[in-house]
Structure 1
Amino acid sequence: MFRGPRWKIAIYARDHGIPHFHIEGPDFRCSVAIASLELIVGTVPASVLSGALEWAQPNQQLLMQTWQELNG
């Protein structure tokens, strides 16, 4: 969906729980709620979280639409 320098944002089909996206890198993975942009579970470096949320905030509608298409 979106890639940073050493991380990516992903949404997976048949996922569980509240609508969320994953931030994944070589040695970390976390889940972030789409509606609130709050960290749900996992670990992520602060600089990566900041960069991912900078992209996610203006793209929340796209994230939710993608979640609904894959998990609706």
Structure 2
Amino acid sequence: MPEISRFFGIVIKIYYEDHPPPHFHAEYGEHEALIDIRTLVVIGGHLPPRALGLVVEWASQHQTQLLVL
């Protein structure tokens, strides 16, 4: 799975031909969550609240680019 970003110990990865809905994977330590790109809602897994807040903030700033991947 290609890594597209890394910040504050959080790794963002995305499969280009993955199942719907369009989403990315966020990993933080032993935690992982799948985030819907359109709604920025967790659709699987779990992240600690602070890490999730950083991921959602990052995703909101890059949402347009994520939708075209």
TM-score range relative to shorter protein: 0.7 to 0.9
Using structure 1 for the length normalisation, give the TM-score. Answer: 0.83
Partner Cα separation in structure 1 for residue 47 and residue 15 of structure 2: 18
Structure having greater relative contact order (Cα 8 Å, sep ≥ 6): 1
Q: Name structure 1 gaps, 5 residues minimum.
A: 67-72
Amino acid at match of 2:45: G
1:12 aligns with 2:15: yes
Residue 15 of structure 1 aligns with an amino acid whose one-letter code is D
Aligned residue pair count: 66
Say whether 1:65 aligns with 2:46: no
Cα drift, residue 50 of structure 1? 0.4
Gaps of 5+ in 2: none
How much does 1:4 deviate? 1.6
Q: Which has the higher helix share?
A: 1
**How many Å apart are 1:2 and its aligned residue?**
1.5
Q: CA deviation at 1:7?
A: 1.3
Q: Percent identity, aligned pairs only?
A: 33
Provide the rounded CA distance (Å) in 1 between the counterparts of 2:43 and 2:34: 5
Q: Which has the higher strand share?
A: 2
